Amino acid sequence: KAGVTQTPRYLIKTRGQQVTLSCSPISGHRSVSWYQQTPGQGLQFLFEYFSETQRNKGNFPGRFSGRQFSNSRSEMNVSTLELGDSALYLCASSFGLGPSQETQYFGPGTRLLVL
């Protein structure tokens, strides 16, 4: 079974631009969660989608948004990029709502650099 895939793997943007990242979960998984990893703040939860609905949200500004499609694929969007948005963005999928009851499987991440 194929794992979680994220595209693109690397991305360079400039301040003020917007970016869209994509995540394809493991086949049959209905939940997708997004995390931001930076050297300064570590790993932080962004949001979780299940059955096309946002079920949980972390403490990030409204510039960070996401959505989930009927095939469970998910996208996250960051508008008006700031230098501090440079990070590794990780996506994780699980069969049910994670992470307590369900094991989350992580993708390799998208590394975003904002110049």
Partner 1 sequence: AQSVTQLGSHVSVSEGALVLLRCNYSSSVPPYLFWYVQYPNQGLQLLLKYTSAATLVKGINGFEAEFKKSETSFHLTKPSAHMSDAAEYFCAVSGSDYKLSFGAGTTVTVRA
Please work out, in degrees rounded to the nearest 5, the angle formed at the alpha carbon of residue 112 by the alpha carbons of 42 and 57: 55
Using CB under 8 A, which of 11, 13, 20, 45 touches partner 1? 45
How far, in Å, CA of 81 to CA of 100, rounded?
32
Using CB under 8 A, which of 68, 85, 107, 114 touches partner 1? 107
Of 72 and 104, nearer to partner 1 (C-beta) is 104
Q: How far is the CB of 34 from partner 1 (least distance, A)?
A: 11
Stretch binding partner 1 (CB under 8 A), from 14-22, 69-77, 78-86, 94-102: 94-102
Tell me if 66 contacts partner 1 by CB under 8 A: no
Q: What is the 3-state secondary structure (H, E, C) of 50-99?
A: ECCEEEEECCCCCCEEEEECCCCCEEEEECCCCHHHCEEEEEEEECCCCC
The token pair at 110 is: 């998208």
Per CB under 8 A, residues contacting partner 1 are: 4, 33, 35, 42-45, 48, 56, 58, 90, 92, 97-101, 103-109
